[in-house]
Amino acid sequence: MAQWNKWDHRFMEMADLVATWSSCFQPNRQIGAVIVREKRILTTGYNGAPAGVRSCKEKGECLRRVRNIPSGQMAEFCYAIHAEQNAIIQAARMGISLEGATLYCTHQPCSICSKMIVNAGIKRIVYRYPYPDEFALQIIGEAGIAIEHYLPESSS
């Protein structure tokens, strides 16, 4: 079991805070991400509709619920961009390299986000809640990225 330091706790708390900014209609799907290198926050991201597109909150319904799509399937049928994707996109727009960084995220990344994380050069992922996507874990493992399930009761 991993031993968590005060910085891991701080950045996971920050991911939890960023998740509250989500425009996702489902409260249990509000996801936040913080990308850090050398104890410095590089970018943050939360799940929500692209700029200029009305969110599910604004529309008053979740497209995935309307279509009865299970979690972990058909990610393309959602107005939201994932938190990890938004954090990586923000870094690209600002010209910030993510090489060697750590991603703190409220939820385990999906396979699409995992591919982006690999190509962005992120070397460590810390997440709180699991996600039903074994393929994502396979991609992360093959790429040699450290992935850790954050369990705060195992702190140092």
84, 99, 134, 142: which is the annotated catalytic residue? 84
Judge whether 24 and 57 are in contact, CB under 8 Å. Answer: yes
For 33-84, the DSSP string reads EEEEETTEEEEEEE-BPPTTS--HHHHTS-HHHHTTPPTTS-TTS-SPBPHH
99 is catalytic: no
Which residues are designated catalytic? Answer: 84
